Structure 1
Amino acid sequence: MTSLDKKYLQAYLPFYSTSYTQKYLLRSYQEQGITEATQYSFSNCYPFISYIENGLLYLKQASKIALQIKPLLLYYGFTHLLKACVLVVDPVYPETTAVLAHGVSTRKKKKQQYEFLMDEVKIQRNGLFTHLASKMFHMKLSEEKYSMITLLKEIPELSSIFKRMKGNLPQLPISLHKGALHIDQTVLNHYHMTKDRFIQLAARKWRLPIDLENISEEDNLIKLGLIEPMSKNKESLLPFRYDYLLDIYTLSLQKDAPSQTLPDMLIMYLLLYNLSMISRYEIDWWTELFKEMGHQDLPFISGFLDVAEFKIPMLVGEWLTGREV
């Protein structure tokens, strides 16, 4: 475990105190105007701690086992942590059995010449995925499909793998300095947009808090001032994503893909769900993947699992601490 991992795991330590956790839940419920907030904060205290404890246990074990088994432990560990998050914003979870399903489906039978990168998952109307999207991120997702390659391209820590394997970068670096986004002209060239059209895209479609009175240009840089300061939750600047390895913000070049504005935690869930299903039920293909090593899929799968191992506790920890008063 690296020092970076330990730093982010410390975000969870206060939750092992029932008095702290009860007060944490109470504040959240009161801010949402939930009736019987006190009662819910006491009744959900132990389930919340159990989700955290078990989720981190799965993740810690995932760091010690073979790559072939890693998707299962990462998926279940992540699911436990997400259920803790849902309890923060939904005190009656699970209110119905409908929210207990995965909320995602994938092909039951893989085609010949199957490629993971070209595989898809489909969002279901009900289930954990759609429930946490609604409760945690206030998103109403349609029953659409996401391909694995479009999801992987939205993970900035994988950009170097895409560069070496595919010959291009799916993300370009963006600077955030003194409350302003510094965007290089290269980004506009990739988007085939003028400055004014890009600003319209950012303000209207992406709904970023741009200060239209605080926009300037300097040395091929466009500086977009933000009305609101950065919150602790890095998801607030989507589709600009944070690269935890390089300590920079990036912007995806997939401007027409629905995955571009999908929060990092939802992207992680979709990828881990599919990999956990494949490792369980497509055992012939999964075994061949590691034995033959002839698939282009393996570097991307291995790279993603490495990123997921350290990024999941960071993302969840930041979401939880971002709700503290």
Structure 2
Amino acid sequence: MELGLGQKQAQVTKRFGEMFRCKGMPAGVANVSLLLGNGERSGKVVSNYYFEWESLARAFAYIHYGLARPLFLFGSHGTGKTSLPEQISARLGRNFSKVTVGPSTEAFELVAQRVPSADGGMTTELGLLAKAMEQGDVFIIDEYDLMPTAEQKNLNDICENGVVYLPDGRIIRSHKDFRIFATANTNNTEDLDLSVNDRFAFMRMDYLPADVESELAYEHWMQLHSVFSNGSKADWKNHVSPQLDELVRSRVNVMIKVAEGIRENKAENDDSFFSTMSIRAVFGWIDELMLARRFDLNRVDNDEHEMLQALRRAFINGLPIEEQEEIVQLFQLKSDLKSIM
């Protein structure tokens, strides 16, 4: 029996929701029927990755359909600037590659390099960007705002027209599936050249809402607990007692409060405060806490000592010395450990 239009759209919406765990997705998702192929995926799919609908929809439209201009994703460390296109690509079975640039990067080295040939002369070898164009990769140029503006301008033809001219006369025209993203901490306006920024659509990336981060951290904790308990994280939901649920949620709540406090400090003191805390760092905090319990690393039965020592290993010890004590004080202020004793 052939499905009606409404049933087909419901099927598409269900499949889309299974592939992209998302907050704020409308009840009906139209025009994504091309997703309903064989469902094969390539790349590393992070199963607990969480999308926000606005950023997912815009990046998906560009990657999957090639709609509108390339995206320039900017925002603080750990807000998903790289992982957003990477995780969309992985779920769509698309090749993904990237390069990190800096103040000394020249556009030409992304396109081609002159290397010795077998006959003792020199030959032109394609760079990472040109290879991505030929292969049809989703390609990210990370830290784009650190690249000299004059060198950014040399990439304008690639961003707008998908074409590059090599010194040996070859012309590389991009594969139909080639997509290019720029990512950076800023929106590339310090040494502004509109001919560069006009090639992109700009989207600010931000941290996930606190309730979403709390739920992701809770799931991460429970999966680790399940691994240590029975060797598998797949069935963690079957091993959650009311007491464990309350205990973990209270500690996760502390962790997210601390992360938010660190981010607030960074926002208020951007020039003098180096550190900010991503959800990735929160996961690392949980990892260290669970490992310490598993292998008896703390040797002190005290919540504050246990959590602080795990935070040191996961985050604090990698910061400048002058900021370490400030983070310790912030932890003590935000943790309210009496509520979780």
Considering Cα pairs closer than 8 Å and 6+ residues apart, tell me whether 1 or 2 has the greater RCO. 1
Q: Which protein is bigger by CA-based radius of gyration? A: 2
Q: Do they superpose with TM above 0.5?
A: no
Query: What TM-score, normalized by structure 1, do the two folds share?
Result: 0.27
Taking structure 2 as the reference length, the TM-score comes to: 0.26
Point out the structure with the larger helix share: 1
